[in-house]
Structure 1
Amino acid sequence: MQFIDGGVTAPKGFTANGMLCKIKESSTKNDLALIFSEKLCNAAGVFTQNKVKAESVKLTKENIANGKAQAVIANSGNANACTGEQGAKVARKMASLAADVLGINSGDVIVYSTGVIGKQLPVEKIEKNIQSLKDGLSKEGHKEARTAIMTTDTHYKECAVQTVIGGKTVRIGAMAKGSGMIHINMGTMLSVMTTDCAISSQMLENALRKSVAGTYNCVSIDGDTSTNDSLTILANGMAGNDEITCEGEDFEIFYEALNAINTQMAKKIAGDGEGATKLIECNVSGAKDVETARGLAKAVISSSLAKAAIFGSDANFGRFLCAMGYSGFDFSPEKTSITFESAENSMRTGATDFIGEQKGKRTSLKVFENGVPLDFDEALAKKVLQEAEIKINIECKDGTACGTAWGCDLTYEYVKINGDYRT
């Protein structure tokens, strides 16, 4: 398996495009995207568990219930959530507009929307530009599409991998958005995945749900689960491998590639949280089961106090233990150890006045061991926590299971962005 360029158009048979329609009048970047497969695809998806769901989510769940789809139309600037009957009509109109220009059934169109909640989406702007959007579909169009779904994101998020299944080269591509209102709990984060692998809808769903549990669902920016969280995958089978219809070697190879992309995309989203300056990775080992390990890790990266401490480069590990304690997941505090690990080899080594060690290009500093605080070097800890990427490694000694979660620091800029987001 190797990472490649191309995003959602890396697999055979997929084209894409994006353009500016000014769905939000103040927009200056692309805000409408279209992704198309020349062949009907097997499809699967997972969606927000928020009781309040956007109209695009409701329609997409309905449209892929039969395991089929061929196109994705997505807009930013308006979430089309809490918009009632009019919003439902708009979502259906978006699907029919895309279907008409592509010459496909409207029931085979996935609809994504993201942006401000509680405002009617001006679908007439999409209608005015849909033909131009379709006419610009190309293999290079992933570059235009990947920016069209961004809201407060500071940079686009895409990824693609290539592997071999049954002697055939198989590619999987993805693009995503997500910066705020992120506390993913799927089945405002959007992700579109494409593949030319021949795989049944059921096995697509199995792979997706298995992967999401340890990737996207282990991300939190601010504790708010969006009304619009959606992750769908389309598989057109054009790689020419024998269709994967059951578990086995081919399925495991596909899953490994899918999970590699989802892990990278989850980290990209976590690192681009609204106002964020640092990516936090919390690794829990020695838990009694995987669910517990992931739950404890997510509790740590979701804690506002822990996130604020990371922002201030303050080694206040008590906040991490506190979050673990109220998480609802069982662990033994008296057997727990915590280590901070930096992402870069920029710290001093070889001194005798601190507890720390080099691990390749990373600097490790243990601050808590078997339920007891250590006499660590506060200055070194601050340097470790000033890095752009920080690992919090927690050892529980209650079992053998491991889990990872990703988040970011809580900054003044987050409040500024969300204080006047609508106006």
Structure 2
Amino acid sequence: MSLKGFQFSAVEAAIKKPGRLDLALIFSQDPAQVAAVFTTNKVQAAPVVISRQRAANGSARALIVNSGNANACTGEQGMTDALECGRRVSELLGLPDDELLIASTGVIGQALPMDRFRKAIQPLVDGVAVGTLEDVADAIMTTDTFPKLERRRGEAGGVGYAIEGVAKGAGMIQPNMATMLSFLVTDAAVDPDFLKSAFTEAVDGSFNAITVDGDTSTNDTALIMANGAAGNPVIKAGTPEGASFLALLHDVLLSLAKQIVKDGEGATKFVEIRVKGAESHADAKKAALSVANSLLVKTAFFGQDANWGRIIAAVGYAGIPMDPDRVEIRFDDVVMARHGIFAGGDAETAGTEVLKQKEFTVTIDLHIGAGEAAVYTSDLSYDYVRINADYRT
């Protein structure tokens, strides 16, 4: 079963440099419901400002996105340029301007090279019947080392539907929505209110549960378009079909989120930080993020140093209720500390072996409540510094 009613295109506009796809289009042949979340950074790129306003209407037919230039901190000219790009695409597609969303990613503080955009827009629209979602995934990459794409299939009322999505991101990652972008499309018919609530819930457990370097971008955008082309009965909240749709949506988003962490700039480790036994879910997540963002913890992961003391310290300054004498810390199944006390030399040896793996889980049990949360992060390597020191060159 293939996705129905969506078309894709991507072209090379040489926005930052030639030799790669960097301008993409997603187009729904039918009217589509839309739900979106955006960066909470007070410094917001022109496309974020525009798309936030348009997505509030609850419907959209198309999205244009470029990489290589964030169009952030570019003043009134940046807003004018973004609107012109959108208007030219809308005219060629025969759409009202407010049915087209805009996204950008790349270098902050540089004006869009509008002459290149103008030349590329006609080929972009002309190619919409032959492009693929894979092309879009390629076109939105910046420092990413691989394209990020995920697909799931579901059924409602005996009718099959698809949920497909792409994402980009490797550095400047702590979305807090919501440099990270993610675009999902589904041909399922979904109640608009349920679509918004389901997307927000799924984002909270995926994109809002990852961190590479603790930075929240000026351009973070995640959205979903649902056009109903599959012809299924409308999926609503509080139904088995709604629960299934939410589960599939969460699967797609969590897979994309994990791909972003695994592609973290210079990353050599993928680490799940799981906090249990907190007073609330919010406290558990706050503690997990505190550990995941600690530079001392992340460098210890890179160095394969089983330094559990840095972890308990990061929990201690997270600003949540805790009793150090109750804390237990495990690396996978290896108990490193119990009742806040080191488990001994054998634990150090076994814990070091765990940290030699490319993927592992750190579990912190506070033993004071039922709150639990997971956050996904990477280590911090020499290459992270090199990549970001050279980013603009």
**Which interval holds the TM-score relative to the shorter structure?**
over 0.9
Q: 2:377 aligns to what?
A: 407
SS of 2:315's equivalent in the other structure is helix
Q: What is the Cα deviation at residue 116 of structure 1?
A: 0.3
- 1:38-72 per-position Cα deviation (integer Å, ceiling 9, x unaligned): 10100010000000000010000111111010111
Q: 1: CA distance between counterparts of 2:81 and 2:245?
A: 36
User: Quick check: 1:165–1:241 contact (8 Å CA) kept in 2?
Assistant: yes
The answer to whether the 8 Å contact 2:178/2:222 transfers is: no
C-alpha offsets along residues 209-262 of structure 1, whole Å, 9 cap, x if unaligned? 111112111111111100000001100011212223443322211111111111
- 3-state SS of paired residue (2:211): coil
Give distance in 2, aligned partners of 1:139 and 1:170. 21
Aligned twin of 1:381: 351
Distance 2:180 2:102 in 1: 14
Q: In the alignment, residue 297 of structure 2 is paired with which amino acid?
A: A
User: Counterparts of 1:322-337 in structure 2 under 5 Å?
Assistant: 322-337=313-328
1:381 is displaced (CA, Å) by: 2.3
Q: Which runs of 5+ in 2 are unaligned?
A: none
Conserved? CA contact 2:134–2:149, under 8 Å:
no
Kindly indicate whether the alpha-carbon contact (under 8 Å) linking 2:156 and 2:235 is maintained by their aligned counterparts in 1.
no
- Is residue 18 of structure 1 aligned with residue 10 of structure 2? yes
Could you list the structure 1 runs, at least 4 aligned residues long, displaced by more than 6 angstroms after superposition. none
Distance 1:57 1:127 in 2: 21
Distance 1:163 1:389 in 2: 30
Per the TM alignment, residue 316 of structure 1 is displaced from its structure 2 partner at its CA by 0.5
**Gaps (5+ residues) in structure 1?**
5-9, 342-363
SS in 1 for 2:337: strand
1:200 and 1:245 in contact (8 A); partners too: yes
1:334 Cα deviation after fit? 1.4
The structural deviation recorded for 1:27 is 4.0
**Separation in 2 of the partners of 1:140 and 1:60?**
23
In structure 2, relative to structure 1, the CA distance for the partners of 1:376 and 1:18 (3 Å cut) is farther
Select 1:192's aligned residue among 183, 190, 196.
183
Deviations 1:347-370 (A, max 9, x none): xxxxxxxxxxxxxxxxx3111112
- Check whether the contact 2:157–2:233 (CA below 8 A) recurs between aligned residues: yes
The superposition leaves residues 282-302 of structure 1 with CA deviations (integer Å, 9 ceiling, x where unpaired) of 111222221112221111111
SS at match of 1:327: coil
Amino acid at match of 1:279: F
Deviation at 1:94, TM superposition (A): 1.7
1:138: Cα distance to partner? 4.1
1:283 aligns with 2:247: no
Distance 1:43 1:34 in 2: 16
The equivalent of 2:297 in structure 1 is 306
Aligned-pair CA distance for 1:142: 1.3
1:230-309 to structure 2, matched below 5 A, reads 230-309=221-300
Aligned counterparts, 1:5-404, within 5 A: 11-24=3-16, 26-138=17-129, 141-341=132-332, 364-377=333-346, 378-404=348-374
Shift of 1:331: 2.4
Paired residue type of 1:301: A
SS at match of 2:64: strand
CA–CA separation in structure 1 for the residues paired with 2:324 and 2:202: 29
Counterpart of 1:421 in structure 2: which amino acid? Y
Q: TM-score when scaled to structure 1?
A: 0.90
Shift of 1:400: 2.0
- Opposite residue 143 of structure 1, the aligned amino acid is E
1:75-99 CA-to-partner distances (Å, cap 9, x unmatched) read 0000000000000011111211221
Q: Which amino acid aligns with 2:195?
A: L
Quick one: distance in 1 between partners of 2:238 and 2:94?
A: 35
User: Which amino acid is 2:14 matched to?
Assistant: K
- Aligned to 2:132, the other structure's residue is in SS state helix
CA distance in 2, matches of 1:150, 1:90: 21
Q: Partner amino acid for 1:415?
A: V
Q: C-alpha separation between the residues in 2 aligned to 1:287 and 1:139?
A: 51
CA drift of 1:140 comes to 5.3
Q: Which amino acid aligns with 1:230?
A: T
Alpha-carbon distance in structure 1 between the residues aligned to 2:114 and 2:290:
40
Q: Distance in 2 between matches of 1:376 and 1:99?
A: 65
Q: What is the percentage of aligned positions where both structures have the same residue?
A: 41
Aligned with 2:179: secondary structure? coil
CA distance in 1: counterparts of 2:82 and 2:149, whole angstroms: 25
Structure 1 residue aligned with 2:386: 416
Q: Distance in 2 between matches of 1:62 and 1:172?
A: 25
- Report if aligned partners of 1:19, 1:145 keep a CA contact under 8 Å in 2: no
Deviation at 1:201, TM superposition (A): 2.4
- Counterpart residue type for residue 128 of structure 2: L
